[in-house]
């Protein structure tokens, strides 16, 4: 006998605009380049600096877009209060999708954390002077020497590790959603489209 139970109706909506998608994938490439060159690159880190400048430019665009961009791109759309975050965390173990169009409450705050860490990373990179005479940040002379030669390089290295942890959590969340909840979070970041329940 045919199962007459109707599956929930779905519709396809635009979730990520071209600016958000381009920002995301260019940031992935720029961060990977900056981190890889910082760890294994040549001693003269010119290309590491270029990758850092690219990240700075991308951050500027994303911060502006967070206020004037499409609905799901705006910070006001995905920064939820403690109650919404707590409700989302209670729902997280369920196999059902949370149904959010755009970032969920936890994902929204993780975006803000990642942006904040990247801003710190850019600022400390611009103001670092490792005293090797070749890799001086262009703004190192604008801050006290104790900051440029000690604090900025140390924070820059520490935040690089924090960013790797955040990226790892981000990837783990994508895998969790795909394998446990059956939701593909990568495809919408490529196509801009997502299927949601009506």
- For residues 72 and 101, the answer to whether their CB atoms sit within 8 Å is yes
Whole-number pLDDT of residue 177: 92
Whole-number pLDDT of residue 99: 76
Whole-number pLDDT of residue 9: 65
**pTM score of the predicted model:** 0.89
Give the pair of three-digit tokens for residue 182: 């059956």
Rounded to 5, what percent of the chain is helix, strand, coil?
Answer: 65, 5, 30
Whole-number pLDDT of residue 2: 46
Cα 50 from Cα 52, distance rounded (Å):
5
User: Which residues touch 69 (CB under 8 Å, ≥6 apart)?
Assistant: 17, 19, 20
Question: Cα dihedral sign for 169, 111, 55, 25?
Answer: positive
- For residues 187 and 24, the answer to whether their CB atoms sit within 8 Å is no
Whole-number pLDDT of residue 1: 46
Whole-number pLDDT of residue 197: 63
Buried b (16+ CB within 10 A) or exposed e, 50-84: ebbbbbbebbeebeebbeebbebbebebbbbeeee
Phi and psi at 12, nearest 5°, equal: -100, 125
Cα 79 from Cα 136, distance rounded (Å):
37
Task: Tell me which residues of the chain have a pLDDT lower than 50.
Answer: 1-2, 4-5
Whole-number pLDDT of residue 118: 98
């Amino acid at each position: 006998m045919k199962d007459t139970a109707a599956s929930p109706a779905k519709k396809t909506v635009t979730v990520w605009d071209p600016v958000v998608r381009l920002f995301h994938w260019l940031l992935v490439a720029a961060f990977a380049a900056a981190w890889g060159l910082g760890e294994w690159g040549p001693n003269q880190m010119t290309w590491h600096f270029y990758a850092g400048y690219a990240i700075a430019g991308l951050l500027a665009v994303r911060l502006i877009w967070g206020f004037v961009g499409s609905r799901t791109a705006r910070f006001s759309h995905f920064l939820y209060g403690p109650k919404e975050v707590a409700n989302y965390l209670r729902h997280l173990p369920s196999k059902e999708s949370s149904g959010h169009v755009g970032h969920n409450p936890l994902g929204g705050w993780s975006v803000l954390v990642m942006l904040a860490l990247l801003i710190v990373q850019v600022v400390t990179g611009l103001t670092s002077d490792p005293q090797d005479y070749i890799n001086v940040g262009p703004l190192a002379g604008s801050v006290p020497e104790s900051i440029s030669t000690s604090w900025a390089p140390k924070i820059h290295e520490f935040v690089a590790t924090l960013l790797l942890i955040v990226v790892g959590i981000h990837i783990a969340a994508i895998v969790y959603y795909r394998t446990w909840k059956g939701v593909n979070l990568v495809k919408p970041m490529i196509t801009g489209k997502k299927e949601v329940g009506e």
